[in-house]
Amino acid sequence: MKKNEKFADFKSGFVAIVGAPNAGKSTLLNRLLGEKISITSRKPQTTRNRILGVVHRPFSQLVFIDTPGVHRAKDELNVRIVDAALLAMGDVDVILILIDVANSDTDSENYIVKKLKKQKRPVILALNKIDLVKKPVLLEIIDNWSKKYTFETIVPISAKHGDQIDKLLGTMEALLPQGPPFFPEDTLTDLPERFIAAEMIREKVFRLTGQEVPYSTAVTVDSFSEKKGGGLVEINATIHIERDSQKGIIIGKKGSKLKKIGEDSRKEIERMLGTKVFLKLFVRVQKNWSKDTKAIRRFGY
């Protein structure tokens, strides 16, 4: 059988997951994949890069782009982050807008709708966190959104609990163009393991430190090597922050905070790699890196 005959009834395409900060985009991507590749936290703007994840279905392949939260950015780092999200909308077959029904960010959501009006791609609206609102409230939200934009469909979901995820997948699949898969069947993401490891470390900084510190943090993996004979991966990574006072917060009393960040990161990286990990963390002050264009580029943003 020729390759084009094998995929005669197959569909494949790219879907951008777009929404305001903290709408649950990364949680949704991880739910769709059944694996964690995109980091999450309760703090907004956790995701800074476009994260690609591949979902394989019997007659389709959906390639998802998890984008950073869209908002009216002002500083250099956040302007670049939002630009990455908006660019993703122009490179896909379907746009999936995610809205947090329990904690609406009206300003950011209206900004997204304004940007949508320049697009000619099919748009699906997913109303997330339906487990946190009562049905009459949800029905009112659906009615309000149906008046704002002509969506292909509106699907209420819970990314955290998996409610209506199969329905959402089926709706997106129906809108994909016909064509062969873009990635082999065993591909989950195109991201290198060292990138995901750095993101997992950054996630723990977000989760274990106060409001101020995470947004001044970048993580670089300085070395990532598998020891001969396998069974152990050695990783050296640096947590970059902007001020000396933040260094003390990251390290903690007698190194307790840094130790906890390291322990939690190591366990998560071990789950991803399926092997033992020796992780060594360093902390470095780089003054005002988030306002330095060269530093932002060097850290991959």
Give per-residue pLDDT as tens, 86-129.
676 777 899 999 999 998 878 888 888 888 877 789 999 999 99
Query: Domain boundary residue among 134, 149, 175?
Result: 175
- Residue 182 belongs to a domain: no
Q: Are residues 135 and 58 in the same domain?
A: yes
Report d(CA 141, CA 129) in Å as an integer.
Answer: 12
Q: Are residues 226 and 142 in the same domain?
A: no
Q: Are residues 31 and 144 in the same domain?
A: yes
Q: Are residues 47 and 115 in the same domain?
A: yes
- Residue 147 belongs to a domain: yes
CATH number at residue 155: 3.40.50.300
The average confidence (pLDDT) of the chain is 85
Q: Are residues 118 and 148 in the same domain?
A: yes
Report d(CA 66, CA 30) in Å as an integer.
Answer: 10
Give per-residue pLDDT as tens, 104-113.
878 888 888 8
Instruction: Check residues 227 and 80 and name the one with the higher pLDDT.
Output: 227
Q: What is the pLDDT of residue 163?
A: 95
CB atoms closer than 10 angstroms to residue 253? 7
* Prediction pTM value: 0.74
Please check the confidence at residue 1 and state whether its pLDDT lies above 50: no
Q: What is the pLDDT of residue 191?
A: 83
Domain that holds residue 257: 193-298
Helix axes 76-89, 106-116, angle to 10 degrees: 50
Q: For residue 155, which of 187, 129, 127, 180 has the smallest C-alpha distance?
A: 127
Q: Are residues 151 and 243 in the same domain?
A: no
Instruction: Check residues 68 and 11 and name the one with the higher pLDDT.
Output: 11
**3-state class of 297 per DSSP?**
helix
Q: Are residues 21 and 154 in the same domain?
A: yes
Please check the confidence at residue 43 and state whether its pLDDT lies above 50: no
- Residue 271 belongs to a domain: yes
User: Nearest 5°: CA angle at 45, between 218 and 69?
Assistant: 130
Give per-residue pLDDT as tens, 218-259.
899 999 998 877 789 999 999 999 888 889 889 999 999 999
Q: Are residues 136 and 222 in the same domain?
A: no
- Residue 186 belongs to a domain: no
Q: Are residues 28 and 158 in the same domain?
A: yes
Q: Are residues 119 and 212 in the same domain?
A: no
Query: Domain boundary residue among 175, 207, 225?
Result: 175
CATH number at residue 237: 3.30.300.20
- Residue 185 belongs to a domain: no
Report d(CA 86, CA 66) in Å as an integer.
Answer: 12
Q: Are residues 138 and 273 in the same domain?
A: no
Average pLDDT on 199-212 reads: 84
Report how many domains make up the chain. 2
DSSP label at 67? P
Please check the confidence at residue 178 and state whether its pLDDT lies above 80: yes
Q: Are residues 157 and 12 in the same domain?
A: yes
- Residue 156 belongs to a domain: yes
Token output for 80 = 């670049």
